[in-house]
Copies of this chain bind each other. A is one copy, B any other.
Amino acid sequence: MSKAEHKPATRDGAEPGRDVQHIVTSADVAREAGVSRSTVSRCLSGDRRISDATRKRVQETANQLGYQINKIARSMNTRKSDLIGLVTSGLSDPFRVEFLDKLIFAIQQSGYRPLVIDVSDPAQMGTSMMHLLQYQVAGVVVTSGSPPPEVGVHFLKRNVPVVLVNRAGRLDGADVINCDNVRGGELAADLLLGTGKTRFGFLNVKGGTFSGNVRGETFVSRLAPGLANGDISFTPLVCDSADYDGGFNAAVKFLAQPETAPNAIFCAKDHIALGLLDAARFELGLRVPEDIAVVGFDDIAAARQGAYQLTTVRQSATKLAEMTVDRLRQRIRGDNLADQRLILSVEMARRRTV
């Protein structure tokens, strides 16, 4: 029926029906400015061959008519949109939110727009990513989950770059950006070893995540000498969910007998550490760091708050976002880049829980 409305509207170059609402197109601008539609297109895309006089006139006409380019139509022609797909899974993880915040900002600064895909069911990851191709996205950032390796082929074929951030990198042709989990595990171990505490633990979500596992393994291997001596002990600790509640509930259990429970604990991420801290302090009445020392990972905003003052391994969400967008832009530009893996350095943020 929209067709029916527009049938009576005259064709290219004639007067549009004033009665029905009409969306201003480049053809309207062209007619008003007395040039061809091609010229309008070239003016707005900054083509050098257009004379200054014409350019100015077209620009003014466009502004006057309130012309807004139809990016859908542009994408139709160029077969590329200025959308960048963001694959995420909810906004409950604080560090991911901080990262997405900076990422969205950086994407927009670069003239692109973020198109969010929320993947709650890991099994749907593949099909969800394929959906992004329907929008002719210019690139994709995966901030959660692990895409099935075979989808990479389709993005390669379509020449759409994919960047995995803090993920296990198993995607054909995709770039992988990680923070230095190895160094982070070492820093945590070294700091906790210096406390004189002897019962070590690493708290991670059941089953583990890629990043968490690396952090934990490095942590343990750094403890190896002390373990060999028998000076210290180590206990792997597990929680049901990788968030505050997970850390809280797990801590209530494994800290039940404080005299034998681990008292130097490294958490796979800050969010878990916050739960652990609250459980230790308010549920079990333990003092931090006297009774128990805690180190987190990420340095989320809450870690800096007075109630927590969490000592943690910092990775910069801002830098991570900038690296991501830089890499994406290079790939879109078609740069030939040898390396496919980038590492973001980390540092220890010392506060009051050690």
Give the interface of A toward B (CB within 8 A): 2, 21, 23, 66, 68-73, 75-76, 79, 81, 83, 90-92, 97-98, 100-101, 104-105, 108, 113-118, 120, 130-131, 133-136, 154, 157-159, 244, 248, 274-275, 277-279, 281-283, 301-302, 305-308
Q: Is the CB of A116 within 8 A of B118?
A: no
Q: A76-B76, A97-B97, A283-B306 are in contact. List 7 more A-B contacts (CB 8 A).
A: A91-B97, A92-B301, A113-B135, A114-B116, A115-B115, A282-B306, A282-B307
Which residue from B71, B116, B136, B154 sits with its C-beta under 8 Å from A134?
B71
| Copies of this chain, whole number | 2
Q: If A91-B101, A97-B91, A101-B91 touch, does A134 touch B305 (CB 8 Å cutoff)?
A: no
Which residue from B91, B100, B134, B306 sits with its C-beta under 8 Å from A98?
B91
A-B contact pairs, 12 of them (CB 8 A): A72-B75, A72-B136, A92-B101, A92-B301, A104-B118, A114-B116, A115-B115, A248-B306, A274-B305, A277-B307, A279-B306, A282-B306
Give the complex CA separation of A283 and B305 in angstroms: 12
Give the complex CA separation of A83 and B113 in angstroms: 12
Q: Is the CB of A68 within 8 A of B301?
A: no
Give the complex CA separation of A113 and B275 in angstroms: 33
Kindly list chain B residues whose C-beta atoms are within 8 Å of the C-beta of A244: 301, 305
Q: Is the CB of A90 within 8 A of B81?
A: no
Q: If A90-B101, A91-B100 touch, does A69 touch B277 (CB 8 Å cutoff)?
A: no
Give the complex CA separation of A98 and B91 in angstroms: 7
Give the complex CA separation of A60 and B124 in angstroms: 20
Q: Is the CB of A90 within 8 A of B105?
A: yes
Q: Is the CB of B104 within 8 A of A91?
A: yes
Give the complex CA separation of A66 and B158 in angstroms: 13
Question: Nearest CB to that of A248 among chain B residues?
Answer: B306
Give the complex CA separation of A73 and B74 in angstroms: 10
Question: Nearest CB to that of A282 among chain B residues?
Answer: B306
A107 → B minimal CB distance (Å): 9
Q: Is the CB of B116 within 8 A of A104?
A: yes
Give the complex CA separation of A306 and B245 in angstroms: 10
Q: Is the CB of A71 within 8 A of B158?
A: no
Kindly list chain B residues whose C-beta atoms are within 8 Å of the C-beta of A133: 68
A104 → B minimal CB distance (Å): 5
Which residue from B23, B97, B135, B307 sits with its C-beta under 8 Å from A158?
B23
The 9 A-B pairs with the shortest beta carbon distances in the complex, nearest first, are: A278-B306, A91-B101, A307-B307, A282-B306, A71-B134, A72-B75, A114-B116, A76-B76, A21-B157
Q: Is the CB of A69 within 8 A of B307?
A: no
A132 → B minimal CB distance (Å): 9
A335 → B minimal CB distance (Å): 18
Q: Is the CB of B70 within 8 A of A136?
A: yes
A271 → B minimal CB distance (Å): 10
Q: Is the CB of B101 within 8 A of A108?
A: no
